[in-house]
Structure 1
Amino acid sequence: MQEARDVHPHGVEVRSADGAESVEEALKSLQKEGLIKILDAAVVSWPAERPSRAPDS
């Protein structure tokens, strides 16, 4: 049987590469302070010249 653990996935949308870098640094800092635990992370980018895809309604 797999061990139970708290898992609370969250996503953060950032509109610029600089903003994404700032968020990453802030999250790593919070983890070093023991305030959060990062289990996994991913960065997804979209070309600036392409329109964003709106979610299906």
Structure 2
Amino acid sequence: MRASLAGPGGSAGRCLLHSEPKDAGYHKKLVVDFGIDVDLTDTSVDLVLKTDAFPRD
């Protein structure tokens, strides 16, 4: 699983979460606006990712 913040050239104000790595890539991508909690309790990381405090440019 990999999380990244959209910056210049991307979608401003959004968080991108990539999961299910396979063959040097990822099979799932989730895009949420900053401030929306991402529920990962049904995954191996078992947490809720809060995006409201992520740094922004």
Q: Greater strand share, 1 or 2?
A: 2
Normalization by structure 2: what TM-score? 0.27
Normalization by structure 1: what TM-score? 0.27
Q: Greater helix share, 1 or 2?
A: 1
Higher relative contact order (CA 8 A, sep 6+): 2
